[in-house]
Amino acid sequence: MLLALSENIKLAFMDKNTAPFSAAEIAAEGIKPDEYKELVQRLGRHPNKAELGMFGVMWSEHCCYKNSRPLLSQFPTKGDRILVGPGENAGVIKLTDEIAICFKIESHNRPSAVEPYQGAATGVGGILRDIFTMGARPIAILNSLRFGDLADPWVRDRVNGVVSGIAGYGNCVGVPTIGGEVYFDPAYNRNPLVNAMAIGIMETPQIVKAGASGVGNPVLYVGSTTGRDGMKGASFASAELSDKSEQDRPAVQVGDPFLEKSLIEACLEAFKTGAVVAAQDMGAAGLTCSTSEMAAKGNIGIELDLDKIPARETGMSAYEYLLSESQERMLFVAHQDRTQELIDIFDRWGLHAVVAGQVIAEPIVRILWQGKTAAEIPATALADNTPIYYREQSDPPDYLVKAWQWQESELVELSNISNRIAPASALLQLLDSPAIASKAWVYRQYDHQVQNNTVVMPGAADAAVIRVRDLDFGVGELALPTLENQRVGIAATVDCNARYVYLDPHEGAKLAVVEAARNLACVGAEPIAITNNLNFGSPENSVGYWQLAEACKGISAACREMGTPVTGGNVSLYNETIDSDGNSKPIYPTPVIGMVGLVADFTKTCTQGWQNPGDLIYLIGAIDPASVTLAASEFLAIVADQVAGRPLPVNFELEKQVQAVCRDGIAQGWLRSAHDCAEGGLAVAIAESCIAGDLAAQINLPLAGNPSPDQLAILKLLFGEGASRIVVSVQPSDQKAWEAYLKQHLGDHWQLIGAVGDRNSDFTITIGNDSQSSIDLPLEQISQTYNQAIPRRMNAR
């Protein structure tokens, strides 16, 4: 049974005669007064310093999800393909009858704000350990990054550090970074988001889980040494950022990618022997987390002797051992009489492997240090029967009541943007916005071709594609033959428009899920499952909790509609910055969706760039200007400097039809390119396809029944967002077959809108019968604007 707590109990019962700690000392561990009272009742006594620290990290939001767990329970987590759902280090799904893949996403936001290089680097290392702990070989990394205004030197420093950290760790460990997303918005000015996702293919005979078993079985500590780096990192990750956060730099871990590479190989070799009963990564909360979670999941106990833990520093206390988050460490439970076999494997890889404890019958975590008992706590009190806050949801907050009153008609009345509202000028402004512009400055620092399996490169398409080949391993009954003659691939994407979620958490979260699925459809993939990273402000604020609750409802609804169950993920709350006056500013609510899909034949995929002059360009999906909106759009934010309105509700029936048609068109070989209309709307999508293919386009957008469109109608048609729309190109020889298919499966939800030009022609968009082009720009100009937007800002002094 979960522990529910109120927030109004005081520490009146504590005084100098009964409590070993002051209220300030307890608060320093991140423990609330009522939580301290509860843990005293659990123990039947006051804790010692080490035990207090253990409760502090394990009862932090980062570890126990005490504010979000009731909301997460509504996620759909079952499905025909789900082999392992939430609760383990990572989710596992069946890609085909022979192939199982493991994937997950996690955040490293606070560490990256304080120490961007190591914060991002150890975020990559941590998510990789979640994957290979399950017995899977990591084959791909993706990331979702959010930064503030690039005009701010502090922000540019974080961008440099984070991107370098991801590259420095991922490149050296030998796992390709195949995709991701990068957004820029002032909402993240002092609170960047760094979410890392990893994918692996199961390589061991059985999926390795974390639950300990077998009384008397030895507990092995393997990997690197333990030091004082990363102290109380879980608690640090559960607190707001302030101007004093720089003092928490010791809470940021330090990674070693070369050691992690050895750890990957040693662990996978060890798992294949069958000598390992259970395994747990030492991530957040280090030894405390690994011992308590393994014990609780196995409904058994663990006794661990800290004197046997390899240390890199002298004079460490029990408290420091237990709360250190030094990287590249694991905890195993091994079969008796097979420990030397495992020790020998790790010795060959130059890694530590020592018997540091044993499984015991009593369901407790007992920590020994210097010949004495340093801590003794019921395992479930640390790992699963933790504080849970059931908070009341508020009505929509005042900022939304006002934002939802905004009308599109107000836009053309704004005299301050009249000189910028011309379509050609607006398009250039959008292409110059770092949120839309080319992210090549970022992804060119990553090695995306190591392992030689990346099919679709970063920046080339709406989703990444990686092939599965030359494998000779399997998972239990999923015996996997060599795939030399097969063409199975994995598609993956990370996606979230946080402005949509800010302006309507429920619909915005739905849109994040369906757009992720649409991204996969644009490369020909069938969406299978998601992992999510819920980045939100403080749940103790009624607005913050309402945003989180509504977003969870939206994700749940969309996943059920799209048939993409949730396999796990991460919750990162308290993403707020506190200024010198004590005012707190939260980020936009940002529920990042990481989605994976099946590519039946990786030779039949699409990218977003035009392929050949003369190819025909179609818009499939919502073609009526009334089906899109400028509310919550990039146009409204960038050109009109307004964040207002409300995104349109998702039309799931049309969404699924459009995605299916796109997938089928790619499988049939009709589609030469496919690109989702997302941020910036139709005009930006077409421009991006021109830039990616280095070919121009001549577009004519008909407006049935409106031969003389007004300015607002033109802006909506060009820059409106929120609907299910994909721009595709088809070679003329396939026109007849393609259009017959469209009539049968999409009815009138499609239009032939133009043709691909050559690289020497201009990019033009004409509206209706108007002989004057709404947009007429040289291909070189839009390419230069798009490609130089971020480098120009990053090079600013």
> How far is 333 from 277, CA to CA, in rounded Å?
5
Q: How many residues does the chain have?
A: 797
Q: Is 55 helix (H, G, I), strand (E, B) or coil?
A: helix
Percent of the chain scored above 90 by pLDDT? 80
Report the amino acid identity of residue 3.
L
| Per-residue model confidence (pLDDT) at position 4 | 46
Our count of domains for the chain comes to 2
- Assess contact for 288 and 54: CB atoms under 8 A: yes
Is 593 part of a structural domain of the chain?
no
Is 547 part of a structural domain of the chain?
no
The active-site residue, picked from 108, 448, 506, 675, is: 108
- Flag whether pLDDT at 611 surpasses 90: yes
- Flag whether pLDDT at 582 surpasses 90: no
| Per-residue model confidence (pLDDT) at position 482 | 44
Give the residue among 625, 573, 567 at the shortest CA–CA distance from 593. Answer: 567
| Per-residue model confidence (pLDDT) at position 528 | 98
- Flag whether pLDDT at 581 surpasses 80: no
CATH of the domain at 643: 3.90.650.10
Contacts of 112 (CB under 8 A, 6+ apart): 119, 120, 123, 158, 161, 162, 165, 192, 194
Per-residue pLDDT tens digits for 325-343: 899 999 999 999 999 999 9
Number of C-alpha atoms within 13 angstroms, CB side, residue 221?
Answer: 26
Q: What pLDDT band is residue 381 in, cutting at 50, 70 and 90?
A: very high
- Assess contact for 319 and 197: CB atoms under 8 A: no
3-state SS string for 717-765: HHHCECCCEEEEEECHHHHHHHHHHHHHHHCCCEEEEEEECCCCCEEEE
| Per-residue model confidence (pLDDT) at position 706 | 57
- Assess contact for 428 and 150: CB atoms under 8 A: no
Per-residue pLDDT tens digits for 540-550: 999 999 999 99
Residue 732: give the domain boundaries. Answer: 606-797
Percent of the chain scored above 70 by pLDDT? 90
Cα first-last separation, the chain: 57
DSSP secondary structure string for all residues of 342-393: HHHHHHHTT-EEEEEEEEESSSEEEEEETTEEEEEEEHHHHHTS-EE--PPP
Characterize the bridge pairing of strands 566-572 and 526-535. parallel
- Assess contact for 497 and 679: CB atoms under 8 A: yes
Tokens of residue 141, six digits:
């990394």
- Assess contact for 327 and 321: CB atoms under 8 A: no
CB neighbourhood size of 733 (10 A): 9
Residue 354 CB-density burial (10 A; 0-12 exposed, 13-18 middle, 19+ buried): middle
> How far is 112 from 105, CA to CA, in rounded Å?
16
Give the residue among 464, 752, 517 at the shortest CA–CA distance from 654. Answer: 517
In eight-state DSSP terms, residue 394 is P
Give the residue among 553, 591, 594, 722 at the shortest CA–CA distance from 651. Answer: 722
Q: What is the mean pLDDT of residues 83-106?
A: 95
> How far is 283 from 273, CA to CA, in rounded Å?
24
Per-residue pLDDT tens digits for 458-474: 999 999 999 997 544 44
Per-residue pLDDT tens digits for 383-392: 888 899 999 8
The active-site residue, picked from 46, 62, 335, 745, is: 62
Q: Which H helix or E strand runs over 258?
A: helix 257-272
Q: What pLDDT band is residue 419 in, cutting at 50, 70 and 90?
A: low
Q: What is the mean pLDDT of residues 665-676?
A: 98
Give the residue among 726, 727, 201, 197 at the shortest CA–CA distance from 494. Answer: 197
| Per-residue model confidence (pLDDT) at position 229 | 81
Q: What is the mean pLDDT of residues 495-504?
A: 98
| Per-residue model confidence (pLDDT) at position 613 | 97
| Per-residue model confidence (pLDDT) at position 703 | 64
Per-residue pLDDT tens digits for 15-35: 333 568 999 999 999 999 999
> How far is 570 from 531, CA to CA, in rounded Å?
8
More confident residue, 487 or 566: 566
Q: What pLDDT band is residue 243 in, cutting at 50, 70 and 90?
A: low
Residue 483 Cα to chain centre, angstroms: 29
Is 564 part of a structural domain of the chain?
no
Q: Phi and psi at residue 606, in whole multiples of 5°?
A: -125, 150
Let me know if 108 is a catalytic residue.
yes
Is 177 part of a structural domain of the chain?
no
Q: What pLDDT band is residue 51 in, cutting at 50, 70 and 90?
A: very high
Q: Is 167 helix (H, G, I), strand (E, B) or coil?
A: helix
Instruction: Choose the weakest-confidence range: 183-197, 407-421, 643-657.
Output: 407-421
DSSP secondary structure string for all residues of 419-457: TT-SHHHHHHHHHTSTTTS--HHHHTTS---TTS-EEE-
Q: Can you tell me which residue has the tokens 């979260």?
A: 509
Per-residue pLDDT tens digits for 126-161: 999 999 999 999 999 999 999 999 999 999 999 999
- Flag whether pLDDT at 56 surpasses 90: yes
- Flag whether pLDDT at 278 surpasses 60: yes
Tokens of residue 568, six digits:
């796990």
Give the residue among 293, 267, 266, 252 at the shortest CA–CA distance from 64. Answer: 293
| Per-residue model confidence (pLDDT) at position 253 | 73
- Flag whether pLDDT at 5 surpasses 70: no
- Flag whether pLDDT at 785 surpasses 60: yes
Q: What is the mean pLDDT of residues 559-584?
A: 91
DSSP secondary structure string for all residues of 143-159: EEEEE--TTSHHHHHHH
Q: What pLDDT band is residue 625 in, cutting at 50, 70 and 90?
A: confident
Q: What pLDDT band is residue 414 in, cutting at 50, 70 and 90?
A: low
More confident residue, 229 or 248: 229
| Per-residue model confidence (pLDDT) at position 87 | 92
Per-residue pLDDT tens digits for 156-182: 999 999 999 999 999 999 999 999 999
Mean pLDDT in the chain?
90
Is 332 part of a structural domain of the chain?
no
Per-residue pLDDT tens digits for 591-600: 999 999 999 9
Is 766 part of a structural domain of the chain?
yes
Is 255 part of a structural domain of the chain?
no
Q: What is the mean pLDDT of residues 433-462?
A: 96
Q: What pLDDT band is residue 11 in, cutting at 50, 70 and 90?
A: very low
Q: What is the mean pLDDT of residues 189-197?
A: 96
Q: What pLDDT band is residue 420 in, cutting at 50, 70 and 90?
A: low
Give the residue among 519, 466, 426, 459 at the shortest CA–CA distance from 790. Answer: 459
Highest-pLDDT range among 224-238, 294-308, 701-715: 294-308
Q: How far is CA 711 from CA 26, 263, 418, in A?
A: 61, 61, 11
| Per-residue model confidence (pLDDT) at position 707 | 55
- Assess contact for 383 and 320: CB atoms under 8 A: no
Give the residue among 67, 7, 17, 74 at the shortest CA–CA distance from 38. Answer: 7
DSSP secondary structure string for all residues of 764-795: EEEETT-SS-SEEEEHHHHHHHHHHHHHHHHT
Q: What is the mean pLDDT of residues 294-317?
A: 95
Let me know if 62 is a catalytic residue.
yes
| Per-residue model confidence (pLDDT) at position 702 | 78
CA-atom Rg of the chain in angstroms: 27
Q: Is the dihedral of CA 144, 687, 417, 512 positive or negative?
A: negative
The helix-helix angle for 735-746 and 652-667 (nearest 10°) equals 150
- Flag whether pLDDT at 685 surpasses 80: yes
- Flag whether pLDDT at 270 surpasses 90: yes
Q: What pLDDT band is residue 623 in, cutting at 50, 70 and 90?
A: confident
